């Protein structure tokens, strides 16, 4: 029997979810929900699935086994809670939510219901990312000393003006960090380990009518003692592919989107040169650097396959709710450090109270 997916929210990213499901054997898009009937109908017609305008009705559909949540970031909580209560497995597009309390509520509800919860971070599933993780875990870098994530993207003013939720604290949860760079924040901390302290600065320099930052720089200390930098912007015309750089006492490596650009180790192996040659030219899209739709869906496909494996075996997905929460916590700590001008230590005991964004 094919696993039926129900997609909640029929915006741009929902189409990528549908393409990913379509590439999986024994899986199909069974239903979609949008509170605007016209959007639900258009999506359903394109995907050959049933349209719902009432979420509870879709969640009562026995053909829906897994839901993917594609609503604005600050509107992930309510459908996630409803899905867990209905006994559906839950996949949430990044970020998991926009406050720690809301993240924790989703995690608790899914654990209580005994359903699988996963947060979408497809970059972890790219072969280049997996190879870099294996090198870190294998000790090839020696002592980790420096880890950087650089996201120098561009978004026009029209991008923010197209959706009333974009650039708001309530529904976007933040700007260049929470919406765009969170993929790289997740990848960096997956490779380098937990962050223990942050100092930061943020600003809005190139866009109007948004509440959030379009430029951010943070200096971080990792729990293992290494240092690092997180740079994020949507104000760097014309936009460049995102980069992650890892350095240690015995090696250095760097990623540019899906390409491995640097792969140098003191203890070189016969496979290193061939690996570097093979992992160059792997990026075939704009990576979202200037156009949010210029991304591939293959990472989502691998991510969904990992979730289905967890459902089948009763195990945990690579990126569960707690993993999804971690990048949100780091970004909220960056916002707090930028607002106060003081170093912020992690883990945070609770949601930071940001003057710009009252907690909900």
How do residues 135-150 score in pLDDT, each as one tens digit? 999 999 999 999 999 9
In a domain, 360, yes or no: no
Rounded to whole angstroms, how far apart are CA atoms 42 and 15? 11
Same domain, yes or no: 70 and 88: yes
For residues 226 and 144, the answer to whether their CB atoms sit within 8 Å is: yes
pLDDT digits (tens, 9 = 90+) for 301-338: 999 999 999 999 999 999 999 999 999 999 999 999 99
Judged against a pLDDT cut of 60, whether residue 359 lies above it is answered with no
Give the H or E element holding residue 90: strand 89-92
pTM of the model: 0.96
For residues 198 and 344, the answer to whether their CB atoms sit within 8 Å is: yes
| One-character DSSP codes across 155-181 | --HHHHHT-TTTT-TTTT-SSIIIIII
pLDDT digits (tens, 9 = 90+) for 181-194: 999 999 999 999 99
Same domain, yes or no: 108 and 165: no
Mean pLDDT of 241-254: 98
Q: Which residues pair with 259 in a beta bridge?
A: 256
The three-state secondary structure class of 88 is coil
Rounded to whole angstroms, how far apart are CA atoms 24 and 309? 12
Confidence of residue 292 (pLDDT cuts 50, 70, 90): confident
Q: What's the CATH number where 212 sits? A: 3.30.360.10
- Specify the higher pLDDT residue, 275 or 283: 275
Query: 169: domain range?
Result: 124-290+325-345
In a domain, 353, yes or no: no
In a domain, 334, yes or no: yes
pLDDT of residue 296: 79
pLDDT of residue 357: 74
> In this prediction, what percent of the chain has a pLDDT beyond 90?
91
pLDDT of residue 238: 96
Same domain, yes or no: 143 and 259: yes
Q: What's the CATH number where 26 sits? A: 3.40.50.720
Structural domains of the chain, count: 2
pLDDT digits (tens, 9 = 90+) for 24-83: 999 999 999 999 999 999 999 999 999 999 999 999 999 999 999 999 999 999 999 999
Judged against a pLDDT cut of 90, whether residue 268 lies above it is answered with yes
Sheet with 3-8: strands ordered across? 50-52, 27-33, 3-8, 66-69, 89-92, 117-119
pLDDT of residue 97: 98
DSSP 38: H
Same domain, yes or no: 110 and 178: no
pLDDT of residue 282: 82
Same domain, yes or no: 171 and 115: no
**Average pLDDT over all residues of the chain:** 95
Same domain, yes or no: 137 and 264: yes
pLDDT digits (tens, 9 = 90+) for 93-131: 999 999 999 999 999 999 999 999 999 999 999 999 999
């Amino acid at each position: 029997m094919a696993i039926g997916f129900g997609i909640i929210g029929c915006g741009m990213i929902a189409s990528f979810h549908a393409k990913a499901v379509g590439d999986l054997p024994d899986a199909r898009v069974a239903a979609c929900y949008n509170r605007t009937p016209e959007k639900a109908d258009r999506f359903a017609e394109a995907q050959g699935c049933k349209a719902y305008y009432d979420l509870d009705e879709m969640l009562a559909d026995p053909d829906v086994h897994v839901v993917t949540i594609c609503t604005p970031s600050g509107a992930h909580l309510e459908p996630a809670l409803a899905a867990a209560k209905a006994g559906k497995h839950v996949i949430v597009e990044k970020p998991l939510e926009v406050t720690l309390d809301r993240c924790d509520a989703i995690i608790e509800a899914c654990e209580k219901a005994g359903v699988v919860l996963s947060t979408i971070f497809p970059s972890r599933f790219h072969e280049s990312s997996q190879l870099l993780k294996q090198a870190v875990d294998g000790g090839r870098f020696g002592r980790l000393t420096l880890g950087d994530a650089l996201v120098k993207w561009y978004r026009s003013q029209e991008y923010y003006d197209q959706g009333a939720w974009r650039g708001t604290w309530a529904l976007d949860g933040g700007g260049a960090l929470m919406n765009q760079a969170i993929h790289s924040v997740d990848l960096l901390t997956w490779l380098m380990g937990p962050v223990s302290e942050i100092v930061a600065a943020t600003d809005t320099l190139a866009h109007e009518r948004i509440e959030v930052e379009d430029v951010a720089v943070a200096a971080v200390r990792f729990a293992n003692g290494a240092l690092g930098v997180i740079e994020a912007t949507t104000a760097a015309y014309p936009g460049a592919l995102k980069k992650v750089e890892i350095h240690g006492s015995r090696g250095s490596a760097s990623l540019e989107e899906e390409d491995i650009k640097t792969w140098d180790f003191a203890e070189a192996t016969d496979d290193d040169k061939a690996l570097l040659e093979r992992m160059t030219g792997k990026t075939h899209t704009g990576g979202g650097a200037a156009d949010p739709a210029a991304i591939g869906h293959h990472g989502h496909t691998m991510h969904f396959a990992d979730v289905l494996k967890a459902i089948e075996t009763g195990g945990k997905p690579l990126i569960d709710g707690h993993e999804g929460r971690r990048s949100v916590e780091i970004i909220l700590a960056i916002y707090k450090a930028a607002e106060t001008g003081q170093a912020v230590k992690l883990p945070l005991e609770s949601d930071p109270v940001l003057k710009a964004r009252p907690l909900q």
